[in-house]
Amino acid sequence: MARILAIDYGEKRFGIAQTDPLNMFAQPLTTVFSNQFESWLKSYLINDSISAFIVGMPLRLSGEDTHSTQRVRDFIQWLQQQHPDIPVHTIDERYSSKEAQHQIIQMGKTKLQRRDKGLIDTVAATLILQTYLQQLAP
């Protein structure tokens, strides 16, 4: 069964999460530098198929666009052009980074580990995917 892949877009790096093979649970996968994402995705698709991309959409608390929103839209357009057969969905990510930091603290990580931006990005992607899966649940 194809997995669902979530992406927490960033200018420097992307946090990546995926579902389990049955698409029931969100799992952290990795962090990929943004300039390496295309080759990473090609490698990923050699072994796994994707039924959907979920991309975190940055918005202000008011719901307005942030300085990053257009870059994310451009990235989504690129994804759709490169993989027209895989749907792309967005999830409001207003609180994902703060929630990720809270989750990392709950995991008992050290102060040094809590400052790891890659870990924060991967946990944020997992939260984005978890939100999407919860929206699918009846």
**Is the model more confident about 83 or about 117?**
83
List domains and CATH numbers for the chain.
3-136 (3.30.420.140)
**What is the Rg, in whole angstroms, of the alpha carbon atoms belonging to the chain?**
14
Q: What letter represents residue 99's amino acid?
A: E
Please, are residues 3 and 52 in contact by the beta-carbon 8 Å criterion?
no
**Is the model more confident about 132 or about 67?**
132
Q: What is the pTM of this model?
A: 0.84
Per-residue pLDDT reduced to its tens digit, 86-120: 999 999 876 555 565 556 556 555 555 555 565 67
